[in-house]
Amino acid sequence: MLAEAVQSYLSVRRAAGYALHQVALHLRSFAAYSDAKAQNYVSAETAIQWAQQSPSVLQRARRLGDVRRLALYLRAEDARHEIPPTVFGKERRPRPAPYILTDEQICRIIELAAQSGYRTLRRQTYSTFFALLACTGLRVSEAIHLRYEDITPDGLVIRATKFRKSRLVPLHDTARAGLERYLKQRRPYAPFDDHVFISLRRKPLRIEDVESAFRTVADQMGLPRGRGRRRPTPHSLRHGFAVRALLNCPDSRDRISQHMLMLSTYLGHCKAELTYWYLEAVPDLMESIAERCEAYFTGGKP
């Protein structure tokens, strides 16, 4: 019975645009665990026992959270379903502050990518790829999936990306010119594949390829690396774009709100709070916020 309820719950949420790959695995596992105990309704005790099978506390919290949301959905129609308490704490760690590259570092990354490896299309591929991330704020996956038809007179069409949203990203004339220079070399290299960026294997880039190429130039620059510390990644180019956009934010309260909403939409964020997260990243931004707050509480304009 719980297996049918799980399928109904997943169908409703997927119709709302959620993918839920890992959630589906968790809930089907929980349903099978409950069926083995001959339980047709969500039991808080059983849910905690099932979640405890994971090796880490964070994984237990995530598994239990998935069951809690299922129970909330089912209990709306049947009070026999119990909502388990959050005994394992929060499901997510605090989001770490991003590593923000300076304009000089970004230019150096692009320059080194254009010199890295053999004298092949690889150099143009990664220098253009990194430059595009830096000047548009695209996610790595979005740039990887770009196809010829996505380059339009109005900009780049980003199709059904994260959260199944599509959006249009305008291109500056210089960015468009750089992209066209690359495509003149790229088109004859793999004429039967219409992905904008390809590897030397004549296939679309993989995220591992991009990360490897980025690490190569980051190591040449002496940028930090390793787990457990703030370090640059290809996404740091996207973060840099967002921070530059915030640093250029207008002064008035209404225009700030409009600017943040437009930037959130431009970046493809599903929540404005994901855009405000960048405010923590740069001391200049935090100093500006503090100055405005001080001015407001001392009688000045916000």
Among all residues, which ones are annotated catalytic? 139, 162, 235, 238, 269, 278
Tokens (6 digits) for 4:
């049918």
At residue 187's C-alpha, the angle toward residues 182 and 192, to 5°, is: 145
Helix, strand or coil, per DSSP, at residue 168: strand
Stated length of the chain: 302
Please give the Cα distance from 289 to 295 (Å, whole number): 10
Q: Which residue, among 126, 135, 127, 128, has the nearest Cα to 103 in the 3D structure?
A: 135
Neighbours of 46 (CB within 10 A): 19
CB 130 within 8 A of CB 177: no
Q: Which residue, among 157, 160, 3, has the nearest Cα to 74 in the 3D structure?
A: 3
Contacts of 251 (CB under 8 A, 6+ apart): none
